[in-house]
Structure 1
Amino acid sequence: MSSELEEIKRLMYEISRKVDHRVSRLEGEVSSLSGRISGLESAIGSLAKELSEVKNSISHLENELEKARKELADRIANVESRVIKVEKRVNEVEENLDQHLAKQDVVLERNSEALLNSLAMQFVVNVVSKVASSAHVVLCHLNEKPLIVIEFSNSIHIELISVEVLENDLRVLKNLSEVLKEYSDKEVKYSILTTSVSKAGAPAWLYSLP
């Protein structure tokens, strides 16, 4: 009986020792796992912190990018506004210059036409007075254009000085010649002396006979 008890005690001791050994090993493994879990938690915490910093950096970059985009858009709008103002100013200057040049052209044309008309009248009067001292010369205007009427002993010549030959002027000259012919009983001739400028830049004093 005592031997059986001893055997039971021995078995229980062996079982207890094995259980203690396994418990100790499991505790070691649990401790190791706890250490690894703690390390993982620490690593996860570090990663979470780094991720938060990255998110903050991304948010900061996004804000800076948005500011840069807005600043660029404002600068582009400012440049476009300045370009529009410059274009408007250039157009105004060009328009004013065109108007000024047009006015100068009109003044120059009038002055040139008046000078040519005056020279033409002086030329005709001088030539007539030298060729026929007995001729009677009358200077007047027709439709705001110089008109020279030269009366000889047996004929009358009518000269209209104009920049160009117009049908209306020819009709008026024809009517005038018929009236003078009727009342003077003389041969009446009429023509238009043009003072247009040729391509060479010289006055083209040409008689345009009806």
Structure 2
Amino acid sequence: MDANIVWHEEAVTAAEREQQNGHPGFVLWFTGLSGSGKSTLANAVDRYFHEHGYQSYVLDGDNVRHGLNQDLGFSPEDREENIRRIGEVAHLFVKAGTIVSTAFISPYESDRAKARALLPEGRFIEVFVDCPLETCEERDPKGLYKKARAGEIPSFTGINAPYEPPRQPEVTLKTGEGTGEENVKELVDKLTPFL
């Protein structure tokens, strides 16, 4: 980094923002295969937060690639940069006292670890959206698995690119079992100590 770039301290601290919001800022990092239910869960819990007076926002993988990360492809290097940028943005949301949910495949454990390292202890909650590949392929909401199996999408996670499941996530949701409502209730129940 250029030695002439210096961090500017904010006039309003993260602690002051959290006091005003009435809750801490933290990241819910949803990770899992395409079609596992990451975005659905992130948006459902965001709806819960909104209805209960929490300041929250969802950073969705596809939405972010329409703007901030539109210059990135899907090579391992670009995937790493994609997650690096999201980690930095999520960090800023937490400093603003906001609960931010990130819905990204984020296939590499090392990239998720780097995002975690940006935040204070207890402010990064990894949510493994654990769904069998077969179920994700059956759902295939965007038709991506079909294209990947036909060779139209190279480096598709779970088919011809790796996915490294979290070893010790704070929360695991088995979205191949039960309903979406049950998954959201389970997540909210597990978040009680953080709220």
Bigger Rg, which one: 1
After TM superposition, the score normalised by the length of structure 2 is 0.30
> Which structure is higher in RCO with an 8 Å CA cutoff and minimum separation 6?
2
The structure with the largest helix share of the pair is: 1
The structure with the largest strand share of the pair is: 1
